[in-house]
Structure 1
Amino acid sequence: MGWVYNLHREDPNSEIPRVITICLVFSISALLAICLRFYVRFSTRRTPWVDDYAALASSIFALAYAAIAVVQTRWGQGLSAAYFPEENVIPFSKIQYFGGPVYCLALLGFKVALLTSYLRIAGVVKLYRKVILAAIVVCVINQLVFAVIISVSCIPVARQWDTSIEGKCIDTIPFYFSLAGTSIGLDLIIIALPLPVLWKLQLRLKQKIILAALFALGFFVTIIQIIRIFTVKDLKTYTDSKNIVIWSCVEVSLGVIVSCIPTYGPLFKAFASTVNSYRGNNTSRSYQLGSVHPTSKSATSRRRSNFELISESEGAQITVTTAVTVSAGERTNYRKQSHGGDSEEHILFPGKI
């Protein structure tokens, strides 16, 4: 028996291998990115925090979505309309039904991972912290609402995979546009949130470019969502959903990978240190994963917040002071609540205060 159930004749234009390859490659890459993220955390003796676990959850949902796509190919996903077996419609639709909520939860995971990581940058600033927490609440509510709506878009629910059952369904095309629109809007907010903090940091141009480039990586996910919107408007038959599935896999997987990149600072530093040592550069200090970074010690009476910037390209550590007034009690409370113990970001993170 061939790969597709009930297939009467081979489709010369079958895109099944393309669907399977893209979904598995991107979802597995996201999982590997998470493994590397946790390796860096544990190697540098940093306690994983909310952002790490949110990214992990997102990668698991991304892998689950890819698995659903692969299983769906056994029932005709990737075939041309002329070759799609009619007896596969109901099982094909049942599997597709489970893919919608999983996709929404995968999107939610990496959005929360990015937002909570911002608390490592300047969560000590009360207003900034409140804005981030508000954005997290909006993201959670938005994605959960859409996940629920997807799950009950037809009444009775079984009508979603069996149109012979009497009932009513919402128009899915406008619904998909609404989901994509709100998701893009939230992405733009997430990308813009760290900019006010970065603007106030007294850094060299090269360092600002590096940081801006890291946060701008989120635009890739937004661009993919826009591409996905154009595939939604072409959704007319069962076979038209393959492009949506592919771009959905790419979107959530890249979202996870983008959220992980800023945590790889120690790896870049270790590599730069190795290169410098090989070249006989005596001015650079060696860096090893698991080492503790020395930071400048501030007096307890001083009411300023110090931020440390790690430059991967030079392996240098720079302490930048911003004029943020906080009390000693607020600093203690922030370190306990925002950082999950001693966990900190490796690109831009609050130092000892």
Structure 2
Amino acid sequence: MLFKETFRDSWALLLFLCIANAPFVASQDSSSATELIGLLPNCSLPCLLDGVQAAACDLTALPECLCPNVALQSNISTCVQLSCTYKDQATVSVLSNKLCTGYPKESRQHQLLATAIACAAVVFPIVILRAISRLKVTSRLWLDDWMTVVATVILAALIGVVVTVTKLGFGLHYWNVDVTHAVPILKMMYVSEILYIVIQVAAKGSLLAFYARIFPNRKFQIAVWVGAAFLVGHGILFLGLVIFECRPVAAIWDRSLERQCLDLTKIALAGAALAIFEDIAFLIMPIPEILKLQLSTRKRIALLLVFSVGSFACITSMVRLKTVLIFGKSQDQTWDYVDGIIWSVVELSCALACAGLPALWPLIKSIPGVLSTVRGSKVRDLTDLTNREPSMRPKSKAMAGSQNLRFKELPKLPPEHYDSSERGERRSKFELKTKSSYMDMDSSSRDEDLELQSVARERSAF
């Protein structure tokens, strides 16, 4: 082993001497390359020698051979990371960037920025319109709406982190990143992992809250609570694993510290697998309840399609699973993790966007001339949902029975039935009587009545 190290050091010295003693006709670039190589830490010289020998580079034209060759730079960078301390790695990075000044650098930064902008442009308007639509129908936001709003705000923070790290050099090869940006990039990537878990739990939690609100069946409600407990437990467990993945925690971004870390690849794979399992389970959960509805087969299928929009988010989770296989193993993290970041943002964006699309139906119906041909048949069939017992059951028996009442529309009276003064007098008496009877109700009954009416209006909107 000692002989091997001595042999490598000797050849590294020989490499330096060969470049230094190149013919006088050598270019100025060769002279500057010689000076830079002379500043390299000793631990990196064997890596450079092995790479130069493998690529059969001309020693008098090292930059021309090294800088355009991404595979060669990758091999040398991996060797340096495994052989040198973090301080020496930083020195090599600075000298490497100086050596390759003026040469084009591969970049995927445009992909990251395009993904961030596209997801923001799709998700934010949908969530805003969802809130407007809900307020239009029920005059309030429900728990699932608030959870979606919270998840969207955190998603905005995550997109901001992605844009910031991209400007710092994420999307470039590790050896092309400014060494002064390494710690900020690693810190922000650590924060993004935490934000991802929080958004994921909030988005799926909003879906469960939506189920619990519109399907009052007791067994289904129990299933929703079990799913919520599993979701929260999964979130807390993986949040703890990610936050304390290394000891000390500062070693996650400060590579100069000695550290003991968990296997990030196994954590990422387990988390992705559980996320896909949850997606599938939550997707099929409402199917039995939908099939029980008193709707025609065609309307049942239409409603199933509305609820299955979230399957696209499940597909993106499966695609993302392929990208986490390299987590914790790559020596070119700022390049290899790009796909993982892109698909993480897409997955979360799809979950929030797909959950908001069905709620936009009342807003779409309010646009003049839009879907005018389906307002009659489809909406009338779907209003059968309003005859089901709402999730919030009324406390008074009288109100409970009133939910099953059906009213038959009476024919309109001819205008001449009443003269204008008599109609006005009758209307005033009716309004006074109605107001008086309503004021006689206790406040809790009035609140329940308004609550039930809101639920009924919202269900009919679907």
TM-score (ref. length: structure 2): 0.61
Q: Could you say which residue in structure 1 is the equivalent of 2:190?
A: 97
Q: Could you say which residue in structure 1 is the equivalent of 2:270?
A: 178
Q: Could you say which residue in structure 1 is the equivalent of 2:218?
A: 126
The one-letter code of the counterpart of 1:63 is A
| Mapped partners of 1:213, 1:20: distance in 2 | 32
| Mapped partners of 1:120, 1:137: distance in 2 | 17
Query: Secondary structure at the residue paired with 1:190?
Result: helix
Q: Could you say which residue in structure 2 is the equivalent of 1:41?
A: 134
> Which structure has the highest helix share of the two?
2
CA gap 1:350/1:130 in 2 versus in 1, 3 angstroms: farther
Alignment of 1:164-203 (within 5 A): 164-203=256-295
Worse-matched range after superposition: 53-62 or 136-145: 136-145
4+ residue stretches of structure 1 with deviation over 6 A?
330-333
Q: How many angstroms does 1:142 deviate by? A: 1.1
CA contact (8 A) 2:116 2:159 kept: yes
Query: Secondary structure at the residue paired with 1:274?
Result: coil
Q: Could you say which residue in structure 1 is the equivalent of 2:455?
A: 344
Q: Could you say which residue in structure 1 is the equivalent of 2:383?
A: 318
Q: Could you say which residue in structure 2 is the equivalent of 1:110?
A: 203
| Mapped partners of 2:179, 2:371: distance in 1 | 64
CA gap 1:218/1:346 in 2 versus in 1, 3 angstroms: farther
Q: How many angstroms does 1:143 deviate by? A: 1.3
| Mapped partners of 1:161, 1:341: distance in 2 | 53
Deviations 1:213-249 (A, max 9, x none): 1221221111111111111113413121111111111
Query: Secondary structure at the residue paired with 1:319?
Result: helix
The one-letter code of the counterpart of 1:85 is D
The one-letter code of the counterpart of 1:134 is V
CA contact (8 A) 2:265 2:324 kept: yes
Q: Could you say which residue in structure 2 is the equivalent of 1:258?
A: 354
Deviations 1:18-77 (A, max 9, x none): 101211220342121111011112222431011000101111111111111111112211
**Considering only aligned residues, what root-mean-square deviation do their CA atoms show, in Å?**
3.3
Q: Could you say which residue in structure 2 is the equivalent of 1:79?
A: 172
| Mapped partners of 2:393, 2:364: distance in 1 | 35
| Mapped partners of 1:19, 1:350: distance in 2 | 38
Question: Using CA pairs below 8 Å that are at least 6 residues apart, which structure has the higher relative contact order?
Answer: 1
| Mapped partners of 1:151, 1:207: distance in 2 | 47
Unaligned runs of 5+ in 1: 1-5, 286-309
1:244 aligns with 2:337: no
| Mapped partners of 2:185, 2:347: distance in 1 | 22
> Which structure has the highest strand share of the two?
1
Q: Could you say which residue in structure 1 is the equivalent of 2:363?
A: 267
Q: How many angstroms does 1:129 deviate by? A: 1.0
Deviations 1:133-165 (A, max 9, x none): 221122122112212221111110001112221
| Mapped partners of 2:117, 2:244: distance in 1 | 28
Worse-matched range after superposition: 82-91 or 150-159: 82-91
Unaligned runs of 5+ in 2: 1-93, 401-443
Q: How many angstroms does 1:344 deviate by? A: 3.4
CA contact (8 A) 1:104 1:147 kept: yes
Deviations 1:252-271 (A, max 9, x none): 11111111112112123234
| Mapped partners of 2:341, 2:326: distance in 1 | 13
1:135 aligns with 2:234: no
Give the count of matched residue pairs: 311
TM-score (ref. length: structure 1): 0.78
Q: How many angstroms does 1:193 deviate by? A: 1.1
